[in-house]
Amino acid sequence: MKGNPAGGERMIRRFSRLRIFEHWGIVLCTLILFATGLSQRFWHLDFSQWLILKMGGIDNVRWIHRYAGGFFSLGLILNVVVAVAGVVRGKWAPSMFITKKDFSDAVENMKYYFGLDDQPAKCDRYDYMEKFEYWTILMGGFLMILTGAVLWFPILVTKILPGEIIPAAKALHSNEALLIFLINALWHIINAVFSPEVFPLDTSIFTGYISRERMAREHPIELAKLDEGTPE
């Protein structure tokens, strides 16, 4: 788990090459989905019309959106399957599950931010904010997959379900896409780019490594396990 020193600072391996590849695959698919999906929702805007024309017209935009959605679905499903397999085989701890400690950590951090406590909460591999972001995007992603499939195959779906499912799926798909966009833009990007702890950029997902000093500050429980040789 421990890496070689870099720039005079001891580094620790945090993400595998598989996780880095997975992250960038989902990022690329998400960017394409945002570009092709939001341009259809806000078609009346000049920028949307320009973008649609640059991609070859509305029919091309729809097909690009569908294929990108297919790759996004595959990436999301593989993420869950690999994670579950890792936990079942005992290779990883179920570190992304939300526990009571996450709620107490949130309270402790609020006290720390308002000067009522001397130190922030001590977190394990993932803190409560990272878990909230992950589960929000994961659940939202599966909702997007489900509603997207309904909109892609409306005739097949209405042979089984009532026709009202189509406008409902359209509303859910469009609004959830906007919500995920805002979460990525206002939460994830701010934390990964503009947070004072990582500014100008959190490079851990690019390199797979995190400094020991930052690890001790943000994930002291995980660091203690690594020092003791406890498998994650």
Q: What is the pLDDT of residue 8?
A: 56
CA distance 176 to 144: 7
Q: Average pLDDT of 90-107?
A: 93
DSSP letters spanning 35-86: HHHHHHHTTTSHHHHHHHHHTTSHHHHHHHHHHHHHHHHHHHHHHHHHHHHH
Task: Report whether 3 contacts 13 (CB < 8 A).
Answer: yes
pTM as predicted: 0.84
DSSP code per residue over 110-148: HHHHTTSSSSPPP--SS-HHHHHHHHHHHHHHHHHHHHH
141 closest CA partner among 204, 208, 205, 78: 78
Q: What is the pLDDT of residue 231?
A: 52
Q: pLDDT confidence of 5, banded at 50, 70, 90? A: very low
pLDDT digits 0-9 by tens, 179-232:
888 877 777 888 888 887 788 888 888 899 999 999 999 999 999 988 887 555
Each residue's pLDDT tens digit, 68-83:
999 999 999 999 999 9
As a whole number of angstroms, the distance between CA 186 and CA 210 comes to 23
Q: Are the C-beta atoms of 180 and 144 separated by less than 8 Å?
A: yes
Q: Dihedrals φ, ψ of 53, to 5°? A: -65, -40
The ranges assigned to domains in the chain are 17-91
Whether 3 shows a pLDDT value over 50: the answer reads no
pLDDT in tens, 8-27: 578 999 999 988 999 999 98
